[in-house]
């Protein structure tokens, strides 16, 4: 299953709720303002780290670049473009967006 | 693979219509099919044909129209959400006594059944912005 989050963790409980319910082996794609959740030494990124052993995390590279946070995000996150986003959506079923 | 797309947010205020567009373009160029794009809530403003941004800025509405023409994509606007926000085709504008219609080229007005059908017919339904 692919979970998609597009909101900043400071504006929305989506990430927290998703992490609580995402099952082993599922994938989470962070895009748009959700990319801010990956900045190291924040509450959101430390929560993400706790789930890395059971969930795969992805982020849209253009959104990281647009926000100038490429150097600040935690390691272990797969940075992908739109073509890989399409491939991810093909390989996972179902796809669920969290708001 | 057959994709259906749902867009819930307005252009220029939110990034989600841009992300949806980039996803759609990438899917089409990879040889996938876009079964339908359904615009709901403020997302109906993606079909507002009088949208006129500066010429050196991306035109989100025209970009959808061009995509529909090039790839024959079904762009469906929720009619109830559209009426509340003043998006009307020629028939609706006449029926409600408005001087002009403003539904952009390549879009059509219809009901929620079109979203449900797209969810059934497509292999994946992706929701952008909410």
Token reading at B79: 């009619």
Q: At what angle do helices A43-51 and A14-21 cross, to 10 degrees?
A: 20
* DSSP string computed for B56-122: TS--HHHHHHHHHHHH---EEEEHHHHHHTT---HHHHHHTT-S---BPTTEEEE-THHHHHHHHHS
Q: Do A60 and B19 touch (CB under 8 A)?
A: yes
Q: Do A6 and B23 touch (CB under 8 A)?
A: no
Could you read off the pLDDT of B14-67 as tens digits, one per residue? 999 999 999 999 999 999 999 999 999 999 999 999 999 999 999 999 999 999
Could you read off the pLDDT of A56-66 as tens digits, one per residue? 999 999 999 99
CATH number of this structure's domain A2-98 = 3.40.1260.10
Residue B40 lies in domain: 2-128
3-state secondary structure of A85: helix
The total domain count for chain B is 1
Q: Which of residues 28-87 of A touch B (CB under 8 A)?
A: 31-33, 60, 62-63, 81-83, 85-87
Out of A4, A6, A85, closest to residue B26 by CB: A85
pLDDT of residue A42: 98
Question: Where do the domains of chain A lie?
Answer: 2-98
Q: Do B15 and A33 touch (CB under 8 A)?
A: yes
Size of interface A-B (CB pairs under 8 A): 52
Q: Tell me which chain B residues have a C-beta less than 8 angstroms from the C-beta of A90.
A: 1, 32, 124
Give bridge partners of residue A39 from the DSSP assignment: A73
Token reading at B102: 């403003």
Q: Provide ipTM, 2 decimals.
A: 0.97
Question: Which CATH number fits the domain that encloses residue B20?
Answer: 3.40.1260.10
Give bridge partners of residue A57 from the DSSP assignment: A28
Q: What kind and span of H or E run contains A48? A: helix A43-51
**Cα–Cα dist B44/B88, whole Å:** 10
Query: Do the beta carbons of residue B64 and residue B104 sit within 8 Å?
Result: yes
Q: Is A99 on the interface with B (CB under 8 A)?
A: yes
pLDDT of B130 over the 90 cut:
no
Q: Do A31 and B126 touch (CB under 8 A)?
A: no
Could you read off the pLDDT of A52-99 as tens digits, one per residue? 999 999 999 999 999 999 999 999 999 999 999 999 999 999 999 999
Is B127 considered catalytic here?
no
**Cα–Cα dist B48/B65, whole Å:** 11
Count of beta carbons in the 10 Å neighbourhood of residue B27: 25
Interval B70-88 mean pLDDT: 98
Q: What kind and span of H or E run contains B5? A: strand B2-7
pLDDT of B98 over the 90 cut:
yes
**Which is the catalytic residue, given B7, B78, B82, B88?**
B78
């Amino acid at each position: 299953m692919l979970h998609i989050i597009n909101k900043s963790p400071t504006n929305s409980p989506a990430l927290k709720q998703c992490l609580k319910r995402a099952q082993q082996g599922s994938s989470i794609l962070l895009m748009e303002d959700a990319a801010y959740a990956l900045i190291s030494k924040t509450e959101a990124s430390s929560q993400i780290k706790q789930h890395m052993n059971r969930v795969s995390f992805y982020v849209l590279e253009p959104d990281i670049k647009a926000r100038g946070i490429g150097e600040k995000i935690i390691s272990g996150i797969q940075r992908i473009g739109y073509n890989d986003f399409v491939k991810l959506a093909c390989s996972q079923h179902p796809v669920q967006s969290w708001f | 693979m057959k994709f259906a797309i749902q867009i819930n947010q307005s252009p220029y205020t939110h990034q989600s219509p841009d992300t949806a567009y980039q996803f759609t373009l990438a899917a089409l160029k990879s040889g996938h099919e876009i079964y339908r794009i359904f615009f709901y809530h403020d997302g109906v403003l993606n079909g507002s044909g009088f949208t006129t941004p500066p010429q050196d800025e991306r035109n989100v509405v025209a970009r959808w129209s061009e995509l529909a023409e090039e790839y024959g994509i079904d762009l469906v606007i929720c009619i109830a959400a559209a009426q509340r926000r003043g998006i009307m085709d020629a028939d609706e504008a006449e029926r409600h006594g408005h001087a002009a219609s403003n539904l952009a080229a390549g879009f059509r007005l219809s009901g929620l059944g079109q979203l449900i059908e797209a969810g059934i017919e497509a292999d994946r339904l992706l929701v952008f912005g909410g």
